[in-house]
Chains A and B, each alone.
Chain A
Amino acid sequence: MELELFSGAFFSALLAIILIDLVLAGDNALIIGLVARNLPKESQNKVIFWGTFGAIAIRALMTVLVVYILAVPGFMLVGGLALVWIARKLLTPHDKEEESHLVKAPAASFAAAVRTIVIADAVMGIDNVLAIGGASHGSILLILLGLAISVPIIVWGSQLVIKLVDRYPSVILIGGAVLCWTAYGMIVREPMLVAWFEAHPAAKLVLAGLAFSIALAPWYAERLSEQMKPLTVLLPAILLWMLGFEVASSVWKVQVDYLMATTQGEYLLEGVRWIGWLPFAALFLWIRERMMLRNARVARSTQ
Chain B
Amino acid sequence: MRLIHRSPRAANAARTASPSAELFVASLVICMILSSFGYAVDPIWFGETGLELAVVDLGGEFSVLAMRHWHLLELLLAGGMMAAGIVILGIVAGAVFQPLATADSGAVEKVPIKL
Contacts and interface: CB of A to CB of B under 8 A. Distances in A.
Interface of A: 8-9, 11-13, 15-16, 23-27, 30-31, 90-95, 97-100, 102, 124, 153, 158, 161-162, 165-166, 168-174, 177-178, 181, 184, 197, 201-202, 204-205, 207-209, 212, 216, 218-219, 221-222
A23 B2 CA distance: 8
A201 B25 contact: no
Contacts of B24: 170
A16 B3 contact: no
B93 to A, nearest CB: 21
B103 interface: no
B59 to A, nearest CB: 16
Give the interface SS of chain A, mostly helix, strand, loop or mixed: helix
20 contacts: A9-B71, A12-B71, A25-B2, A26-B3, A91-B13, A93-B15, A99-B1, A124-B1, A158-B3, A158-B6, A162-B4, A162-B10, A169-B7, A172-B10, A173-B17, A177-B25, A177-B28, A201-B39, A205-B40, A221-B14
Nearest to B24: A170
Contact of A170 (B4, B21, B42): B21
B14 A93 contact: yes
A208 B8 contact: no
Interface residues of B, number: 38
Given A8-B71, A11-B73, A177-B29, A26 B10 contact: no
B69 to A, nearest CB: 9
B11 A177 contact: no
Closest 8 CB pairs between A and B? A170-B21, A12-B71, A172-B13, A165-B10, A208-B36, A12-B72, A205-B40, A166-B7
A184 B41 CA distance: 18
Contacts of B7: 162, 165-166, 169
A219 B22 CA distance: 9
A209 B10 CA distance: 25
B32 A169 contact: no
A30 B4 CA distance: 12
B51 interface: no
A178 B29 CA distance: 9
B29 to A, nearest CB: 5
A130 B29 CA distance: 22
A218 B5 CA distance: 16
Interface in B70-93: 71-76
Contacts of A98: 1, 5
B81 to A, nearest CB: 16
Given A98-B1, A173-B21, A12 B40 contact: no
A26 B3 CA distance: 5
Given A165-B3, A169-B13, 4 more contacts: A23-B4, A94-B5, A205-B37, A212-B32
B40 A204 contact: yes
Contact of A166 (B10, B41, B75): B10
A208 B22 CA distance: 19
B18 interface: yes
Nearest to A223: B22
Given A11-B73, A169-B10, A102 B4 contact: no
